[in-house]
Amino acid sequence: MTNIYQKIENVCKVAANKIAYKEFKNDKIIKVTYNEFEQDIQKNIKYLKDLNLPFQAKIGVNINRGYKVCSLIAACSYLNYIYVPIDIDYPDEYINYINEEINLDVLITQEKNSDLNFKIIEQNEKQNTSQNLSNECRFIYFTSGSTGNPKGVMHGEQQFLDRIDWMINTFPFEENEVMGQRAFLGTIPSEWDLFGAFFAERETIFIPDDIVRDINKFSEFIANNKITRVTLNPTLLNFSLTYQIDSSKLKTLKIAISLGEKLGSSVAQDFWFCCKVF
């Protein structure tokens, strides 16, 4: 059975010098080719391997949205470790709660210069929670805890691959399409944002947080970068209509996916007629 790492490796061999990911940091544009991405995966595999972690080690990833997140997912696939995303804006109390629930083996954070910091989590009476996990488990996603304590959800590697394969086959990419990544990393929908275009040998652009928070900047960013696919929750769709977003800025969009909340039919129809993206 092909795993995530193997599929990534195969795509990198074919796409090679194409741009896989693009980030905007400190007014600089960082472009990463498929070959460079593969090299970053190998570096992270080595870092994690040298820690001598157990089978299905749980790797907490508390870093900014960017290609390094994707690289760590691939490294976890190669090493049979479990990827546990933790939003960088969440407080230490949230991280401590997750650690108490599943006993993280490593917490990866990010320095100001974007270098990753790998910290082994030492606990006095650490229970082996891996014995309660399916061998298919590759991800554990935790809810925000807004309605109580955060709850962990296991997600398998084959589920990840099946969903992306289905999406690519059902909604095939045309030449020169660009994915705009903005989905919250602590949710399953982020998997499509991170790897959908990648597996189709297309470019993915990480939309900066300050851009996401401003609907006018967001629409301009889509237009300037010729983004064709994006994931928008119903709240953002409704917000864009309420404040009369300039629909001319969204003409490059071909597919907008909306999920995570209840989507009213009127909001979907209004956005459709306004932006002509569906």
Q: What is the pLDDT of residues 42-52, one digit of tens each?
A: 999 999 999 99
Same-domain pairing of 64 and 151:
yes
Q: Between the CA of residue 252 and those of 165, 205, 225, 228, 269, what are the distances in Å?
A: 24, 14, 9, 5, 19
Q: What angle do CA 127, 128, 129 make, to 5 degrees?
A: 100
Q: Residues 13-19: what's their mean pLDDT?
A: 98
Burial of 244 (0-12, 13-18, 19+ CB in 10 A): exposed
Predicted confidence band at 246 (pLDDT cuts at 50, 70, 90)?
low
Greater model confidence, 65 or 240: 65
End-of-domain residue from the set 155, 179, 195: 155
The reply to whether 8 falls in a domain is no
End-of-domain residue from the set 155, 185, 219: 155
- CATH number at 202 reads 3.40.50.980
Predicted confidence band at 81 (pLDDT cuts at 50, 70, 90)?
very high
Predicted confidence band at 258 (pLDDT cuts at 50, 70, 90)?
confident
Same-domain pairing of 191 and 235:
yes
Domain of residue 151, residue span: 34-155
Same-domain pairing of 251 and 173:
yes
Spatial neighbors of 120 by CB under 8 A, at least 6 apart, are 51, 105, 106
Average pLDDT for the chain: 87
Q: What angle do CA 80, 192, 37 make, to 5 degrees?
A: 60
Spatial neighbors of 48 by CB under 8 A, at least 6 apart, are 57, 59, 75, 76, 79, 81, 106, 118
Same-domain pairing of 56 and 130:
yes
At residue 129, the pLDDT reads 56
Phi, psi of 121 (to 5 degrees): -90, 115
Same-domain pairing of 132 and 189:
no
Q: Are 185 and 192 in contact (CB under 8 A)?
A: no
The reply to whether 63 falls in a domain is yes
Split into its structural domains, the chain has a count of 2
Same-domain pairing of 88 and 139:
yes
At residue 260, the pLDDT reads 64
Predicted confidence band at 277 (pLDDT cuts at 50, 70, 90)?
very low
End-of-domain residue from the set 133, 155, 177: 155
Spatial neighbors of 191 by CB under 8 A, at least 6 apart, are 160, 163, 164
